[in-house]
Structure 1
Amino acid sequence: MKVAKRRREMLEAVHAGITSIEALCRHFGISEATARRDLGALSEQGLLVRTYGGATTGVGQREPELTLEQRRLRQGDVKARLAACALDCIEDGDTVLLDGGTTTAALAACLHERRGLHVVTNNMAALPWLIQLPEGRTTVLGGDLRASSMTVYGPLAHAALSRLSVDRLFLSADGLTELGLCEASPEQAWLKEAMIARAAEVYVMADATKLGRASQQHWTPFPRQWHLITDAEDVRVDVFAALGARVRRPDAP
């Protein structure tokens, strides 16, 4: 492969979330020295940012945070499909932990199809649906309200989690890269990490626009084994499979 073509494809790969030297070497079948030269050339052109062990297009950058209503409308049909796929992973009688976000709220809207659930959540936007659970109950984590996302967080939420364990955790995120789950605040990132520690099974719900996206500055590392529920079909999914994800896709529309 010609150098110019490989570098164009390498830039696309970094945008897709393949950001470490090791992963880029595997992906392109090249040596570490070659990968470093290519990344250095792309960095000199201002097309990416070099990091320790790789490169990124987003570390240190931050996009404006969308309002809750803007998030609800964005990819709404896809979120409904991801929610249906997530519902297939839930059995009657499960204890389910729902993270904040409009994608997990879409799952909350489906949970009336299961019986006897115990749902634990910090997602205030999900509560109108959770009051409809048949033969189920809901535990709301305490804490400080983050109005922009209608979630609660902070020491009280962590204290409540320390006394709970759950069968299945469903997470959302502003973006996913090799660094983990991208969030707008450190409090959100830390709470996600605490949630992961209390769950037997971890599911990340992310539409294709979230994969490879580093729109914020705070990160939650992936657990060693987890599930990625996504509509993405391209090489970005392979990146996360290599990071321990079992990929699940919704039925075609």
Structure 2
Amino acid sequence: MKVARRREAMLQAVLSGMTEVAALCDHFGMSEATVRRDLRALADEGLILRTYGGAASVSAHAPEESLEERRHSFQAEKDAIGIAAARHVADGDTVFLDGGTTTAALARALALAGRRDIHVITNNLLAVQSLAGSHVPLTLIGGEVRESSMSTLGALAQLALTRITVDKAFLGADGVVPGRGLCEATPEQAYLKECVIRQAASVFVLVTADKLNRDSQQHWAPIEKPWTLITDATPSHPSLHAFETLAGVAIESVAADDVALN
């Protein structure tokens, strides 16, 4: 098969969801070196994105969902993820809760559990609504208020994060892609997550299954330390496989009906 025709066939395979090097080798009967070379060539042309262990299609920039849309989408799944994440918060922990509706679900779980023996630091105004009336010690970092996410960010928030460290950081995202990190709509959001990751001893990413391998936004926060993915995606979910082979990532799958706080 001529190189141009082979690469066109490989492009179509990647666009149809065959994104792992091993699968492409089996499908085309080619060596790993040849597949990787073709993927690099396609990426250089801007036709695909190279990822850890394979490739991904280039998604067009998608409009960001409104806050109301995010509040009402996948609510049961977010509640289950929040409850599962709350179980990782130990007595005496100082934790950071990122902006977003999934991390807000974690705040509700902590408030409902009546926790008093932890300290929560957050830029998430939705989390503040849940925690301010509870007995959980709470610190809100300053910055510019982003109305579409009800979170604070910008230079003041970044400066505040240089003055603290946390035991555990719980992050949301518009998307998470193996080998690339967390995807966000603005550079300020992405960079704030990068600042949080640097200041955290342990990192947890809380996302619903629809966010896995989603690259619909254009700004990225890499995760360059071991981290835990908490999601409602089942172990057999096809999007989880690439995370399972990614070094340094632990995966926790939770059921949408997992609503017990104990």
Q: What's the TM-score, normalizing by structure 1?
A: 0.83
Given residue 226 of structure 2, which amino acid in structure 1 is its aligned partner?
Q
Q: 3-state DSSP class of the match of 2:121? A: strand
Match of 1:238 in 2: 241
Instruction: Give distance in 1, aligned partners of 2:81 and 2:227.
Output: 16
Match of 2:253 in 1: 249
- Structure 1 residue runs of 5 or longer lacking an equivalent are 19-23
Q: 3-state DSSP class of the match of 1:84? A: helix
Compute the displacement of 1:208 (Å): 0.7
Compute the displacement of 1:13 (Å): 3.8
Correspondence 1:1-253 to 2 at 5 A = 10-13=14-17, 18=19, 24-29=20-25, 30-34=31-35, 36-37=37-38, 49-51=47-49, 55-58=55-58, 61-112=60-111, 113=113, 114-134=115-135, 136-178=136-178, 179-233=180-234, 234-241=237-244, 242-251=246-255, 253=257
Q: 3-state DSSP class of the match of 1:223? A: coil
Compute the displacement of 1:240 (Å): 2.0
Instruction: Give distance in 1, aligned partners of 2:186 and 2:106.
Output: 23
- Structure 2 residue runs of 5 or longer lacking an equivalent are 1-5, 26-30, 258-262
Per-residue CA deviations over 1:156-187 (Å, capped at 9, x if unaligned) read 11111111111110000001113110000000
Given residue 189 of structure 2, which amino acid in structure 1 is its aligned partner?
Q
Q: 3-state DSSP class of the match of 1:139? A: strand
Instruction: Give distance in 2, aligned partners of 1:62 and 1:98.
Output: 26
Instruction: Give distance in 2, aligned partners of 1:99 and 1:146.
Output: 13
Q: What's the TM-score, normalizing by structure 2?
A: 0.81
Instruction: Give distance in 2, aligned partners of 1:245 and 1:181.
Output: 14
Given residue 70 of structure 1, which amino acid in structure 2 is its aligned partner?
E
Compute the displacement of 1:133 (Å): 3.0
Compute the displacement of 1:237 (Å): 1.8
The alignment covers a number of residue pairs equal to: 238
